Amino acid sequence: MSARTLVVLCAALLLSAGSGDAGADITLDAARSLGERVMGFAFGDTTPDVRHVADFDLADFKVTAPDGAACRVRVDLTNGRLESYMVEALGPSGGDQVSGAEAHDVAQAEARRLLGEDADHLAWQQVHSPYAGNFRFRGTAPMLGDPPRVGLSPVVTVDVLAAGGRVASYHQLLPTDRSPIGCRVSAEEATRVAAETLPRAGQKVIEEPVLHQWRGKLWWHVFIEAPVPKGDPLEHLGRVQWEFRIDAVTGEVIEKATQKGGSGPESARRPGRGTRSWASVAGGGSVLVVAGMLGYVGVRWRKSRLARLRG
């Protein structure tokens, strides 16, 4: 899977620390116990912030580690999983500078601790970290299904501090679905459906469509660059990149959006600069965008602002 087509679907660690099927709803006490096991210290009577995102509930625990580091631990209450943890402010720091190879070993060890044997199937690469002084590594498992699709395999992103080699953040995304959904619409058909909604002159397919499966839904992600029609509010941009989600079972357009600016050095998508996730695709209606701490974890963020269009 290329970095350009990497997609992150919000989910993570099961209560059992393996990557089995999604669990059931859990209480705040159970979520606290899960966070304590992962972090290795007691949270006390800390009350988490609970919020509803897409079709699941998240609990954010803001706690202080024994060494004084301020940490945030996020648990998916709906699926009984840890979503992520992050060291937001360090306590007393120091230590020797670690090399990229040493930081890579730290990232792999943390994934192995939390994912168990499933971590052995991850292919690792170093990606850009938005935080100065960090190494960022991403581990992805091979895509499954026929045709292969994003969403049935785990993805892990780990930030490691260059000073001392401590894990600064960990985010793992596990599939909610285990069985591939039958695909009735080909990539070519999905591209044709998307293209028929745009002016025919000057179209350019940006990249090969990517198939995604998430929470019982299956769709193609299609990107097409095309001129902006005269009279459109974005006409001054000249050309824009259009982003589509096409239902891979019915062939319907689920979502259509556009990014400012066409292709070129200033609008090129850069891997590891953040992510955009389609978290809900029910009814072909609005889409809830979930921003993960990852760099990847959904469909994609763009450097420029994404303008939502009316159908």
DSSP 87-134: EEE-SS---PBPPHHHHHHHHHHHHHHHHGGGGGGPEEEEE--SSTTE
Distance CA 262, CA 33 (A): 48
φ, ψ dihedrals at 81, nearest 5° = -135, 150
Give the per-residue pLDDT at 228.
82
Task: Please tell me whether residue 54 adopts helix, strand or coil conformation.
Answer: coil
Give the per-residue pLDDT at 177.
82
**Minimum mean pLDDT range among 45-59, 82-96, 209-223, 288-302:** 288-302
Task: Please tell me whether residue 74 adopts helix, strand or coil conformation.
Answer: strand
**Top mean-pLDDT range of 32-36, 147-151, 200-204:** 32-36
Give the per-residue pLDDT at 93.
57
Q: Reply yes or no on whether the pLDDT at 24 is more than 60.
A: no
Using 50, 70 and 90 to split pLDDT, how confident is the model at 269?
very low
Burial class (CB in 10 A: 0-12, 13-18, 19+), 33: middle
**Minimum mean pLDDT range among 25-39, 66-80, 279-293:** 279-293
Give the per-residue pLDDT at 238.
85
Contact predicate 16/2, CB 8 Å: no
Burial of 127-157, coded b for 16+ CB within 10 Å and e otherwise, reads bebeeeebbbbbbbbebbbeeebbbbbbbbb
**Minimum mean pLDDT range among 36-45, 143-152, 218-227, 259-268:** 259-268
Q: Indicate the Cα dihedral angle 139, 144, 150, 151, nearest 10°.
A: -90
Using 50, 70 and 90 to split pLDDT, how confident is the model at 54?
low
Give the per-residue pLDDT at 292.
31
Contact predicate 226/196, CB 8 Å: no
- Where are any strands of DSSP class E within the chain? 13-14, 49-53, 56-64, 70-76, 81-89, 123-127, 134-140, 155-161, 167-173, 204-205, 210-214, 217-227, 239-247, 253-259, 277-278, 289-290, 306-308
Give the per-residue pLDDT at 131.
80
For the chain, the structural domain boundaries read: 3-173, 187-308
φ, ψ dihedrals at 150, nearest 5° = -75, 140
Give the per-residue pLDDT at 3.
34
Name the residue type at position 233.
P
Q: Reply yes or no on whether the pLDDT at 260 is more than 50.
A: yes
Using 50, 70 and 90 to split pLDDT, how confident is the model at 288?
very low
